Amino acid sequence: MGNTHAWPVLRTTNLDEALTLAERLLSVAFWYDPNGCYLDAWAYNDDVLRRLTEASQEASVEWYGKGGIGFPAMLTLGVTAFAQAREALVTWADITRCYVLWHNMKWPSVPELGLDEEYKYAELQVACNSHTIHCDEWAPEHTVFIHARPGHDERAAWLAAKVDAQVVGPPEFGW
């Protein structure tokens, strides 16, 4: 059991740029399951909840207010294709802070760095309107995160370099 570390590799106000980088990083992955992808968003009032559920009627809602009722509420939407993730995220990002996470994947081995193939800690995330993986604070940019095994700074830098990007900040404790 353990948690990932998440390295930011891009911060941009252009969501298309963030999603294009994510798609390129997925192409570097040794393997990934398109069904291993979901979006999460938080709603703190009726208007945001209504707009999110109208945009994605198949999203599940979990209430986190006092006694498990009331706001905040978290919406989760499973997706099965990159295009579906892109469409939903673009819609949700216009409404609130949210993220998409690809979690059922493998980062390739990097023999020159002494790193084996990585499955347990391999994840990729685009956080919209936030600099953090939990989207707990609003920011004007969207952030792309590479999740990997704690201490594998070299893997994150190597993966980013494969798609002409670079690590742009310190790692964050993941999930």
Does residue 55 lie within any of the structural domains? no
The number of domains in the chain is 1
Residue 175: pLDDT over 90? no
Does residue 26 lie within any of the structural domains? yes
Residue 77: pLDDT over 60? yes
Does residue 67 lie within any of the structural domains? no
Structural domain including 153 reads: 5-41+76-169
Residue 1: pLDDT over 60? no
Does residue 48 lie within any of the structural domains? no
Query: Could you give the CA distance from residue 42 to residue 93 in angstroms, rounded to a whole number?
Result: 11
Does residue 112 lie within any of the structural domains? yes
Does residue 122 lie within any of the structural domains? yes
Does residue 110 lie within any of the structural domains? yes
The string of pLDDT tens digits covering residues 22-63 is 999 999 998 989 889 999 999 999 999 999 999 999 999 999
Q: Kindly report the length of the chain.
A: 175
Residue 117: pLDDT over 60? yes
Query: pTM to 2 decimals?
Result: 0.96
List of residues 6+ apart from 114 with CB closer than 8 A: none
Report the pLDDT averaged over residues 113-118.
Answer: 97
The separation between the first and the last C-alpha atoms of the chain, rounded to the nearest angstrom, is 10
Q: What percent of the chain has pLDDT over 70?
A: 99
